[in-house]
A and B are shown apart, each in its own frame.
Chain A
Amino acid sequence: MTVRVLFFASLAEAAGTEAVEVAEPGAATVASLYERLAERFPGLKPLGAACLCAVNREFARADSPVRDGDEVAFFPPVSGG
């Protein structure tokens, strides 16, 4: 399956890119996807308080499932306003 991954703000700078397509061999969660991304982009911070996630534009958790065609975004805590 293929998912579109987006990075924002400091996460985009840490990854050195704003968007990548990732091919996953089997079933995936946000955490398993991020583990593979962290191997590819060593600058990424651990998933948790400093790195939030959204699947298909809704906040997600580490154990949220990721399915073929999903848009998965990783970003730091928000600071708009």
Chain B
Amino acid sequence: MVRLVREAIDLTSLRAALLRPEDGALVVFEGTVRDHARGRRVCALEYQAYEPMALKKLEEICDRARRDFDIREIAIVHRLGRLLPGQCSVAIMICAAHRAPAFEACRFAIDSLKKTVPIWKKEYYEDGACWIESGD
């Protein structure tokens, strides 16, 4: 399941939609907006996506994760628009029978997202703004 949303990411609903009795592990990664970057204070972030391609690339990451790791299900939700420090910009949720492949698949998914999914962030500072190009 992949989604691009403009409102707060609802992890409770996502968990209810994803988790099944046969699962023994549920791993969640949340990326959150940090209030500083490159030595500057960050007031807000704005996320923009090439939406149809981003959805396609997110689906590819989920397909690959299901194929390469022993997990049952994976969901990736990325928020777009303007976010404030402390807010969640991306959530990855993985359900598996056992924890080890769930952790591994989660790491794979966020690392892949940062390399291959056409989403960009613009950092807003007290005195300006800047598009960030390439991940950290």
Contacts and interface: CB of A to CB of B under 8 A. Distances in A.
Contacts of B120: 8-10, 75-76, 78-80
Interface residues of A, number: 18
A81 interface: yes
A30 B117 CA distance: 20
Interface residues of B, number: 28
Interface stretch (B9-17, B47-55, B63-71): B47-55
Interface of B: 31, 47-50, 52-54, 56, 78, 89-90, 110, 113-122, 131-135
Q: Which 6 A-B pairs have the closest CB atoms?
A: A80-B119, A9-B120, A77-B134, A57-B53, A76-B133, A10-B131
B118 A81 contact: no
Contact of A8 (B48, B113, B117): B48
Contacts, number: 78
A58 B131 CA distance: 22
A59 B50 CA distance: 12
Interface string A40-81: 000000000010001001110000000000000101111111
Contacts of B31: 81
Contact of A6 (B50, B56, B78, B119): B50
B48 A81 contact: no
B82 to A, nearest CB: 15
A57 to B, nearest CB: 4
Given A75-B50, A76-B131, A8 B118 contact: yes
A78 B134 contact: yes
Nearest to A78: B118
Contacts of A9: 48, 120, 122, 131, 133
